[in-house]
Structure 1
Amino acid sequence: MTLRFIGIDPNTGTGESPTVWVDESKSELVIQGWKPDRDLEAECAAFEVPGHAVGIPNHEAVVRIPARMVPILRKACDAAERAQLR
Structure 2
Amino acid sequence: MSLRFIGIDPNTGQGESPTVWVDESKGELLIQGWKPDAETEAECANFQVPGHAIGIPDHEQVVRVPARMVSILREACDAAEAAQLR
Fold in common (TM above 0.5): yes
User: Could you tell me how far 1:15 is from its partner in structure 2?
Assistant: 1.2
After TM superposition, the structure 1 = structure 2 runs for residues 26-65 of structure 1, keeping only pairs within 5 Å, are 26-65=26-65
After TM superposition, the structure 1 = structure 2 runs for residues 7-86 of structure 1, keeping only pairs within 5 Å, are 7-86=7-86
Structure 1 gaps of 5+ residues are none
User: Could you tell me how far 1:57 is from its partner in structure 2?
Assistant: 0.2
Q: Distance in 1 between matches of 2:51 and 2:24?
A: 29
Equivalent residue number for residue 5 of structure 1: 5
Partner SS for 2:22: strand
Amino acid at match of 1:75: E
Among the aligned pairs, what percent are the same residue?
Answer: 81
User: Could you tell me how far 1:51 is from its partner in structure 2?
Assistant: 0.7
TM-score by length of 2: 0.99
Q: What is the RMSD of the two structures over their aligned residues, measured on CA atoms?
A: 0.3
CA offset digits 1:40-65 (Å, max 9, x no partner): 00000000001100000000000000
TM-score by length of 1: 0.99
Partner SS for 2:72: helix
* Runs of 4+ residues over 2 Å off in structure 1: none
Partner SS for 2:83: helix
Structure 2 gaps of 5+ residues are none
Partner SS for 1:29: strand
Say how many residue pairs are matched. Answer: 86
